[in-house]
Structure formats: C-alpha cells, structure tokens
Chain A
Amino acid sequence: MVDQSRAMERFLASIEKQAYQMAVIAVSNRDEALDLVQDAMLALVRHYSAKEEAQWRPLFFRILQSRIRDWYRRDRVRQRWRGWLERWRGDEEEAADPFNKVPAPELCNPARQAEGGAALTALVEALRKLSLRQQQTFLLRAWHGLSVDETAQAMQCSAGSVKTHYSRAVHALREMLEDHWP
C-alpha cells in the first residue's frame, strides 16, 4: 500500500505541471485549472490506483479531458445566463463592470516570462484560437506523446477524428506562428 501510494505520488508529480498548463490553456483561469487538475488527480487515485502503472497516464488525461468538457458545458450555461442578465440590465452596467477590464491570466510567472516567454505567449494565444477539440488533441499528441489510440480514448472519439483534429491543428498553428518560428 505504501509502495502504491509512493508510485502514485511520483506519477502525479511527473504530470502535474503539464496537466495544469493544459487546463489553463483550455479554461484561461488559474483557479479553475487547479480545481480541474485536483479533481482529475483525485478521481485517478480513487478509481484507478489498482490498475497497472502504465495505464495511469492515458487514464489521467482521459479524466482531465472529461473534466474540461464538463467545465465548458457549465460555462456555456453560465454565459447564457450572463448574456440574458446583461440584456436585462442594459449595456451601460456591463461597460462599467471592472471585471471586464481585468487581463486574462498569464500561464507563467510574469517576471521570468519576460526573459524568453514571447514564444510561449504567442503559442498559448495561438492554441487558444483553436477549437477545444483541436487544441486538446494537439497537446495530447504533440506534447504529452500519447498515441493516436490513447488520444482517441482520452478524447472519447474515433482514431480518425484524432488524426483530422491533429492535422488541422498543426496546419493552423504553423500558419499562426510562422512569424515567430519560420
């Protein structure tokens, strides 16, 4: 039991930063991203800690994907309500709302980002312009190194869809980033 707990902790430590970055790119909110990562960690430990260690990685990303999708669904409902309320209250109050002027959260420490983070900022901005499916497929395949089948399992779609999303994402990113990385 102690060995299993240590192995799980080691595994989570190895993926937590990547998972957080992936979540923060998807939801553009630090606290929400942290909550999503913690939920995914808890679900993995609770339900799959008895599985083989090799299966933890695809399972973890599958859970995280599911949490991100749920977040988007909730967010859509929130936005619908907000839109309805704003229409009801009028545009003047919306313009006066100070939260509208708060900049989007940065992915990394601003002080260190200034050193060489221009490329990262451009990349994150480009990734955020992709559809959620393309963005997450690209990150799972290109960054986390999941195979097509593992990505399909994580995204709960077919291998064909993974290939399509990935190819479109690469094409779009190369176009958007050609000024930064010719």
Chain B
Amino acid sequence: MKEDPNEQDFLATVRKTLDAGGDTLDPAICSRLARARLTAVEKGLACGRRRWLWLVAPLTASLVVVLVVAALFFKTGTDLRHPNGETVADLEIITSTEAPDFYADLDFYQWLAEGENHAG
C-alpha cells in the first residue's frame, strides 16, 4: 500500500509535538519520575533476589529432610538386622517349611533331650 506523503508529514509533526511536550515537562514531575525509576530498580532487583531464595530455600529444606529420613532409616535398619540375633531367628522361623507347632514345642524337646543326656 502506498503511503500518503501528507500523512507522513502529519505523523512527523505529531511526533515532534509530543517530544517537545516531554522536553517541557514540569521539573517536579521529572523528579518524581526519577524517584519512581530508582525505587523500581532497587525494589524490583531486591525482589528478584528474594525470589531466588524462595525457590532455593524449599529445595534445600526438602533435601535436608530426605537426608535425615534416609539416615534414620538406614540406622534403624542396621539395628533390625542385628538385635542380638533375634530378628535373624524370627526370619528363619517364618521362612522354614516346618509346622509352627514344632517351634511352639521346641522348649519341650530341648528339656527332653537334656533329661535324656543326664539319664544317659
């Protein structure tokens, strides 16, 4: 589309007039604008830094919680495996093919065997 040369002149005049308006702004307004700019830069960048903290802090906290839970789990796990060998014995009972009654009467068989030894 061909541009109207009169329109280009008109737009150039508009730009010039508005730019001149900017140059003749009230000094009080200019000073308030400068203050607003400095506040925006200071507050905005500080807020940006705090936002990083908000992102990093929960991640760090989660990591610490995971590490603590893992440490507690492994520590307790070690105790479970070797509490005077009782847990190992329980596991043998559970996994064996003998009838549970056999283990219930185990003390009786032991007493009987000891009696036979003394008698023999």
Taking Cβ atoms with an 8 Å cutoff, the residues of A that contact B are 1, 4-5, 8-9, 12-13, 16-18, 20-21, 30, 34, 37-38, 41-46, 49-50, 107-109, 112-113, 115-117, 119-120, 123-124, 139, 142-143, 170, 173-174, 177, 181
Question: CB-CB contacts of B11-30 with A at 8 A, as 1s and 0s?
Answer: 10111011011101111011
Establish whether residues A38 and B41, one from each chain, have CB atoms under 8 Å apart when the complex forms: no
Chain B residues with Cβ below 8 Å from A38 are 36, 39-40
Q: Please, how many angstroms separate the alpha-carbon atoms of A9 and B44 in the complex?
A: 11
Chain A residues with Cβ below 8 Å from B17 are 119-120, 123
Taking Cβ atoms with an 8 Å cutoff, the residues of B that contact A are 7, 10-11, 13-15, 17-18, 20-22, 24-27, 29-30, 32-34, 36-41, 43-45, 47-48
B34 to chain A, nearest CB (A): 8
A171 to chain B, nearest CB (A): 9
Establish whether residues A143 and B7, one from each chain, have CB atoms under 8 Å apart when the complex forms: no
Chain A residues with Cβ below 8 Å from B20 are 116, 120
Chain A residues with Cβ below 8 Å from B33 are 16-17, 20, 34, 37
A52 to chain B, nearest CB (A): 16
Main secondary structure of the interface of B (DSSP, over half): helix
Q: Which of B18, B30, B36, B48 contacts A143 (CB 8 A)?
A: B18
A37 to chain B, nearest CB (A): 6
Establish whether residues B22 and A21, one from each chain, have CB atoms under 8 Å apart when the complex forms: yes
Establish whether residues A37 and B14, one from each chain, have CB atoms under 8 Å apart when the complex forms: no
A9-B41 in contact given A38-B36, A142-B15 (Cβ < 8 Å): yes
Establish whether residues B29 and A20, one from each chain, have CB atoms under 8 Å apart when the complex forms: yes
A174-B10 in contact given A49-B44, A108-B24 (Cβ < 8 Å): yes
B15: nearest residue on chain A (CB-CB)? A143
A16-B37 in contact given A1-B45, A108-B26, A109-B25 (Cβ < 8 Å): yes
Chain B residues with Cβ below 8 Å from A181 are 10, 13
A38: nearest residue on chain B (CB-CB)? B36
Chain B residues with Cβ below 8 Å from A41 are 36-37, 40-41, 44
Instruction: Beyond the given A34-B36, A38-B40, A45-B44, please list 14 additional residue pairs across the A-B interface where CB-CB is below 8 A.
Output: A17-B25, A20-B25, A21-B22, A34-B32, A38-B36, A42-B44, A44-B44, A45-B40, A108-B24, A113-B24, A142-B14, A143-B15, A173-B14, A181-B10
Establish whether residues A120 and B21, one from each chain, have CB atoms under 8 Å apart when the complex forms: yes
A106 to chain B, nearest CB (A): 8
Establish whether residues A49 and B38, one from each chain, have CB atoms under 8 Å apart when the complex forms: no
Chain B residues with Cβ below 8 Å from A119 are 13, 17
